[in-house]
Amino acid sequence: MTSIKRIFLAAMLAVSSLVAANVTLAAEPINTLEKKGFFGYKASGIAIRGYDTVAYFTQGAPVEGSPSFTTDYEGATWQFSSQEHLDLFEAEPTKYAPQYGGYCAYGVAQDGLVKIEPEYWSILDGKLYLNFSDKVQRLWEQDVPGFIETADAKFEALLESEK
């Protein structure tokens, strides 16, 4: 058996053992999930896929952040498109940080911590909500207040259950 096959087999056995034992890995309070390789998503350390959270409020659109304008907040690195946006965030991070740590808002309401796609979002009552896909965004829009109420009640417990 080649070394690559042995490594792959060992990895598959380790994953199978975790699943069989019903063990889950800890969830980070801030969504840093990025598509990585064969096994799906891994934490990158970069919040909300590197997008500028302030731009949703000031420009009404998702805007990619830059590694030139960053800050650390709640255990993740946040990127911004300008020094002005970085300064705004540092002055009031809770005003600009997305709800549910940047996990998919609809997913949280449905008992899951799911990655997001930056182009599916909404702001309600001054709070940013991100979602996973166009389909999920449309589902979310059918009962935003109800999903917010449900997700508000579930988020902390979801983080705890993933530890």
Tens digit of each residue's pLDDT (9 = 90 or more) over 93-111 = 999 999 999 999 999 999 9
Q: Contact 148/129 with Cβ under 8 angstroms? A: yes
pLDDT at residue 132 greater than cutoff 90: yes
Packing angle of the helix pair 134-141, 144-161 (nearest 10 deg) = 120
Burial class (CB in 10 A: 0-12, 13-18, 19+), 77: middle
- DSSP H or E stretch at residue 89: helix 83-91
CA 134 to chain centre: 16
How confident is the model at residue 85, as a pLDDT? 98
In which band, very low, low, confident or very high, does the pLDDT at 42 lie, cut at 50, 70 and 90?
confident
How confident is the model at residue 33, as a pLDDT? 86
Tens digit of each residue's pLDDT (9 = 90 or more) over 55-97 = 999 999 999 999 999 999 999 999 999 999 999 999 999 999 9
Q: Which long-range contacts (CB under 8 A, 24 or more apart) does 155-158 make?
A: 155/100, 155/101, 155/103, 155/108, 158/27, 158/108, 158/111, 158/112, 158/113
The string of DSSP letters for 91-151 reads H-HHHHSPGGGGS-HHHHHTT------TTSEEEETTEEEE-S-HHHHHHHHTSHHHHHHHH
pTM of the shown model: 0.81
- DSSP H or E stretch at residue 35: strand 33-35
How confident is the model over 141-156, as a mean pLDDT?
Answer: 97
